[in-house]
């Protein structure tokens, strides 16, 4: 969707300049209708690889492919007019080498129309971040709990409570120095998130981190309560759409079985007084 002439489209430099300023509101989106809703209110729309778990029923993000991200990225692009659109680079699409990362990031940007990509990693990915940003690809970094490394962490555990705090701080600093315009801090101890936010020169985007971060992000389906059984501590439910949808679907099925739907107002033409099986009398 092309933006109207009087609508300013946010860019990576715009977000970078928000360091220490007005908090940055971010949410994920994977479809055109949801992107339109998020775009009205948020500064950043992230096409996250969480789409694999949220929409495709995968057990983790590891099975997400580049083609999946492109498909959902195209859908989100049609719904975004003003927010900065960022697309996740999926597992296996950038870790091998900076050259591999560039090829796949360039394809993501060219085919989806996004303005930036997000990748996980700090010190180990600093060379790749520098390679990409030096060639015109803005990068949002992601440190702390990095879901693509869930097997290394042994699960989705809080990070930064012990000896790994120094490593996470170094990761954030390395990503910043390599040229990332912002850094996502996921599921790390609050004091560490606060310290990182105060130390690095670009905005931090928290998810299970700290209110002191320069911005916040959540998976939109989590904060809307689409899944009643999934309630991580760091998610605030702003609605319970899953329960409402369940009740609505149950009501629909009941009315169909009792022949109360469709009613006269839902069909076309006169409704015959008597209806035999297959023919009207």
Query: Is the entire prediction scored with pTM above 0.75?
Result: yes
Nearest to 173 by CA among 125, 134, 136: 125
Residue ranges in the chain assigned as alpha helix (H): 12-16, 32-41, 51-54, 66-77, 98-112, 126-133, 150-153, 165-178, 190-199, 220-223, 241-257
Residue 24: beta bridge partners?
215
pLDDT by residue (tens digit) across 199-217?
A: 999 999 999 999 999 999 9
**Residue given tokens 């930036």 in the structure block:** 116
pLDDT by residue (tens digit) across 32-60?
A: 999 999 999 999 999 999 999 999 999 99
Q: Binding site membership for Mg(2+): which residues? A: 49, 88, 120
- How many CB atoms are closer than 10 A to CB 102? 18
pLDDT by residue (tens digit) across 160-203?
A: 888 899 999 999 999 999 999 999 999 999 999 999 999 999 99
pLDDT by residue (tens digit) across 75-133?
A: 999 999 999 999 999 999 999 999 999 999 999 999 999 999 999 999 999 999 999 99
Q: What distance in Å separates the CA atoms of residue 7 and residue 10, rounded to the nearest whole number?
A: 9
Q: Are 180 and 173 in contact (CB under 8 A)?
A: no
What tokens does 21 get? 């300023």
- How many CB atoms are closer than 10 A to CB 194? 18
Q: What's the pLDDT at 132? A: 98
Measured on CA atoms in the order 200, 203, 205, 209, is the torsion positive or negative? positive
* Catalytic-residue membership of 186: yes
Give 281's pLDDT tier (boundaries 50, 70, 90).
Answer: very low
Note the residue count of the chain.
Answer: 281
> Would you tell me the crossing angle of helices 126-133 and 165-178 to the nearest 10 degrees?
20
Q: What's the pLDDT at 4? A: 54
Residue 183: beta bridge partners?
141, 204
Q: Which of 99, 186, 244, 254 is catalytic?
A: 186
Q: What's the pLDDT at 122? A: 96
Identify the structural domains of the chain with CATH numbers, from first to last: 12-239 (3.20.20.60), 243-280 (no CATH)
Examine residue 155 and say whether the peptide bond preceding it is cis (omega within 30 degrees of 0): no
DSSP 8-state secondary structure symbol assigned to residue 188: B
Residue 90: is it exposed, middle or buried by C-beta count within 10 angstroms (0-12/13-18/19+)? buried
Q: Binding site membership: which residues? A: 49-50, 88, 118, 120
84-88 and 116-120 as β-strands: parallel, antiparallel, unpaired? Answer: parallel
Q: Give 2 or 127, the one with higher predicted confidence.
A: 127
DSSP 8-state secondary structure symbol assigned to residue 147: G
Q: Binding site membership for 3-methyl-2-oxobutanoate: which residues? A: 49-50, 88, 118
């Amino acid at each position: 969707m092309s933006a109207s002439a009087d609508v300013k489209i946010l860019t990576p430099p715009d977000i970078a300049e928000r360091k220490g300023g007005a908090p940055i509101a971010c949410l994920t989106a994977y479809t055109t209708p949801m992107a339109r809703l998020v775009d009205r209110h948020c500064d950043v729309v992230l096409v996250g690889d969480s789409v694999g778990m949220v929409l495709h029923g995968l057990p983790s993000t590891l099975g997400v492919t580049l083609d999946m991200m492109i498909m959902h990225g195209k859908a989100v692009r049609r719904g975004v007019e003003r927010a900065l659109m960022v697309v996740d680079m999926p597992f296996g699409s950038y870790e091998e080498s900076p050259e591999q990362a560039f090829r796949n990031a360039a394809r993501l940007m060219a085919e989806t129309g996004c303005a930036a990509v997000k990748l996980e990693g700090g010190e180990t990915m600093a060379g790749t971040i520098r390679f990409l940003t030096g060639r015109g690809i803005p990068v949002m970094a992601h440190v702390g709990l990095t879901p693509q490394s869930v097997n290394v962490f042994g699960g989705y555990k809080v990070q930064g409570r012990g000896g790994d705090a120094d490593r996470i701080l170094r990761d954030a600093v390395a990503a910043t120095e390599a040229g990332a315009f912002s850094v996502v801090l996921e599921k790390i101890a609050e004091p560490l998130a606060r310290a990182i936010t105060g130390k690095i020169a670009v905005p931090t985007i928290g998810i299970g981190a700290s209110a002191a971060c320069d911005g916040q992000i959540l998976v939109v389906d989590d904060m809307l309560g689409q899944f009643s059984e999934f309630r991580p501590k760091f998610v605030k439910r702003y609605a319970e759409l899953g329960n409402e949808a369940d009740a609505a679907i149950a009501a629909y099925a009941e009315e169909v079985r009792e022949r109360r739907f469709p009613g006269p107002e839902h069909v076309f033409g006169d409704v015959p007084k008597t209806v035999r099986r297959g023919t009207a009398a």
